Amino acid sequence: MKTMSKIQTAATGLAVLMALSACGAAATQDPQSSNTADISAGIQPDAKAVSLLPQSYKDKGELTVAMDLHYPPTTFLAEDNQTPIGLNPDIARLIAKKLDLKLKFEDTKFDTIVPGIDGGRYDFTATTMSKTEERLEVLDMIDYFKAGSSVAVAAGNPLNLSMETLCGKNIAVTAGSTGQLKRLPALSEQTCTSKGQPAINAVTLPNVQEALTQLHSKRIDGILYDTTALGWAAKQQPDSFTLLGRVNVGSSDVTAIGVKKGSPLTPALQAAIQSVLETPEYKKSLETWGLESGAITDAKLN
């Protein structure tokens, strides 16, 4: 089965890096990574959601969704290196069908998504984004999934680390993530600085691929990242790293769709998402990507 040459170059033989890359070893090991079927194919529009849709969107006939397409199993590219797949693309397609609109994907770096929505470049995002006070100042956020973060260390945990002994250690987080902004600072305060220990040293990196490369080469001591993605990588490449445990401080583990605060699109999106949560396709998508435990039933507007 084919892998993409640019991924081969970037990976330099690092198996776990390829497990989390858009079209690398994960794609060659899991048949889902070559499945480009549209889960929304049989979905009919939701009359209530469509009735709430502003006329300008009906006239345009299309929604633009921003995603960072490099985070299996929630958001990545299929083996063809073109088709967005994962939970979030599934959800976005289902939302668009409920609104009787076409969908346009924009592959966007995570830390530029919120400014892009606030600036009007994208209509919404479905990218495993947690709710924070800062985001809620500029976004309306609608719940659709429960995720969370965990800490990973080198395979076998050679430093014998625990969630309580990360003080002074170099722990990678991705730029603009809830891990960087909320969870790692809260963990550091709870387990280290409040007890007179040195703070956890946050090493901010552009993406998880770079973090895993640095973990493998021992330039960092661990990674704080989405539990879903780390679980996926561990399944694809057993014994590539060790999970210490979940980080349950600093932010809610419920993720939400983001749309510009006060947008006329918000009521229609909320109705569409609630309709999606009630479909068999929502549960099917969760099962496909091994995320059944993340199911929720209420598309709460925050």
How is residue 181 written in tokens? 């902004």
How is residue 6 written in tokens? 């640019």
Predicted confidence at residue 208, as pLDDT, reads 82
% of residues, the chain, pLDDT over 70 = 89
Condensed to tens digits (0 to 9), the pLDDT of residues 54-65 reads: 999 999 999 999
Residue 13 has pLDDT above 70, yes or no: no
Residue 28 has pLDDT above 50, yes or no: no
Predicted confidence at residue 30, as pLDDT, reads 57
233 three-class SS: helix
Residue 3 has pLDDT above 50, yes or no: no
Distance CA 91, CA 198 (A): 41
Least confident of 71-80, 120-129, 244-253: 244-253
CA dihedral 164, 167, 170, 171 (to 10 degrees): 40
Q: How far is CA 138 from CA 63, 182, 295, in A?
A: 19, 17, 26
Residue 82 has pLDDT above 90, yes or no: yes
Distance CA 31, CA 251 (A): 34
pLDDT band at 5 (very low <50, low <70, confident <90, very high): very low
Question: Which one has a higher pLDDT value, 252 or 14?
Answer: 252
Highest mean pLDDT among 1-10, 103-112, 223-232: 103-112
Q: Which residues contact 255 (CB under 8 A, 6 or more apart)?
A: 128, 129, 130, 131, 143, 144, 145, 146, 147
Condensed to tens digits (0 to 9), the pLDDT of residues 108-124 reads: 999 899 999 999 999 99
CA 177 to chain CA centroid, nearest Å: 10
pLDDT band at 22 (very low <50, low <70, confident <90, very high): very low
Condensed to tens digits (0 to 9), the pLDDT of residues 148-205 reads: 889 999 999 999 999 999 999 999 999 888 899 889 999 999 999 999 999 999 999 9
- What burial class does residue 189 get, using C-beta atoms within 10 Å of its C-beta: 0-12 exposed, 13-18 middle, 19+ buried? middle
Least confident of 203-217, 244-258, 259-273: 244-258
Question: Which one has a higher pLDDT value, 34 or 112?
Answer: 112
Residue 26 has pLDDT above 60, yes or no: no
Q: What is the mean pLDDT of the chain?
A: 87
Question: Which one has a higher pLDDT value, 14 or 194?
Answer: 194
Q: What is the pTM of this model?
A: 0.74
Is residue 265 a contact partner of residue 62, using CB atoms and an 8 Å limit? no
Condensed to tens digits (0 to 9), the pLDDT of residues 260-297 reads: 999 999 999 999 999 999 999 999 999 888 788 789 99
Condensed to tens digits (0 to 9), the pLDDT of residues 224-246 reads: 998 888 888 777 778 889 989 88
pLDDT band at 31 (very low <50, low <70, confident <90, very high): low
